[in-house]
A and B are shown apart, each in its own frame.
Chain A
Amino acid sequence: MNTKRNQLESSDDAVERLLSSYFRQEMPAEFPVLNIEPAAPTRSNRTSWSSQLRNRTVLVLSVVAVVFASIWAISARTMRTPTETGFDGSSAVKRAPFEKK
């Protein structure tokens, strides 16, 4: 029984040696370098970043301009209240409707 086991073990060892030898031969000694290059940052990416900044700046300036214009318009209207004096300084005379001069 021991003899049979020894034979099996030696056979198994021989198969292992053969397999190691076979795969050692098949395995490439060295692998080629892969020719990869990082994709350069595209022009569109750069311009999109700068154009986003520009767009936002224009938007903020526009909002500020609209706010200032609104404030100016409101204050101008409140300052120019209608008076009873004409443009040439003549005063208006109050008359009753349909009253004859």
Chain B
Amino acid sequence: MKRGPRSAGGRQAAFELLYQRHQREVWALAYARWFDADLAMDLTQEAFLRLWKKWQEGEIIENPRAWLVRVTRNLAEDHGKSAFHKNGTQPPQWLNSFAANGHSPLDRLERDETFADLRKLLAEMPEADRRLLTLRYGLDYDARQIAELLGINATAVHMRLTRARQRLGERLSAVGVDSST
């Protein structure tokens, strides 16, 4: 049975390593639910802080990555029910420390229009497809890595990704978005 590090310093170092290693995954999973980068960052921090709290309380979490995946999904769902706002563990100033990617508004204008259409179409897709697409293109994960993270079959991931891309391509064409831009 895996146990968390017992000394306070060792625990903090292990936690920081875990945060470095899985922060992008957790963010991607949160993002896949609401397609909101800032909210995904809030949920990511909340998930990691909850894990830290558990460690501080001496709770043994055998698979922190799986725990984070589950908690992040739950937090993202809770956000929809507004429960997150009531049950968040950290003060709001901790949540707003993320600065959005910086491009000048003029540079982004053209792409933003395309991305806004894409975001809308992605948001209309089934959640499982959104999750796969986010992990595939947000993190550059291959089917095997996605399957490992989500605990599903790699072949199914590959097939589902292909279908999701096809559907998305058709919808983009239907709304007049040139995907080659």
**CA gap between A21 and B114 in the complex, in Å:** 11
Residues of B in contact with A, size category? 35 or more
A28–B12 contact, CB under 8 A? no
Chain A nearest CB, measured from B38 CB (Å) = 9
B169–A28 contact, CB under 8 A? no
Can you offer 15 A-B residue contacts whose CB atoms are under 8 A?
Answer: A14-B179, A14-B180, A15-B179, A19-B137, A22-B118, A22-B137, A23-B138, A27-B24, A27-B27, A27-B28, A27-B139, A28-B41, A29-B101, A35-B94, A38-B56
Candidates A15, A17, A25, A38; contact of B168 at CB < 8 Å: A15
* Contacting residues, chain A, for B24 (C-beta < 8 A): 27, 31
A16–B137 contact, CB under 8 A? yes
Q: Which residues of B are interface residues toward A (Cβ below 8 A)? A: 8-9, 11-12, 15-16, 19, 23-24, 27-28, 31, 35, 37, 41, 44-45, 48-49, 52, 56, 94, 97-98, 100-101, 103, 111, 114-115, 118-119, 133-134, 136-139, 162, 165-166, 168-169, 172-173, 179-181
**CA gap between A41 and B181 in the complex, in Å:** 58
A36–B169 contact, CB under 8 A? no
Q: Which residues of A are interface residues toward B (Cβ below 8 A)? A: 11-12, 14-29, 31-32, 34-41
**CA gap between A15 and B115 in the complex, in Å:** 12
| Contact flag A28-B15 (CB < 8 Å), given A12-B165, A14-B180, A15-B172 | no
B52–A15 contact, CB under 8 A? no
Number of A-B contacts (CB under 8 A): 98
A18–B45 contact, CB under 8 A? no
* Contacting residues, chain A, for B162 (C-beta < 8 A): 12
| Contact flag A28-B94 (CB < 8 Å), given A16-B165, A34-B45 | no
Q: Which residue of B lies closest to A15 (CB)?
A: B169
**CA gap between A23 and B141 in the complex, in Å:** 12
**CA gap between A22 and B19 in the complex, in Å:** 24
B8–A11 contact, CB under 8 A? no
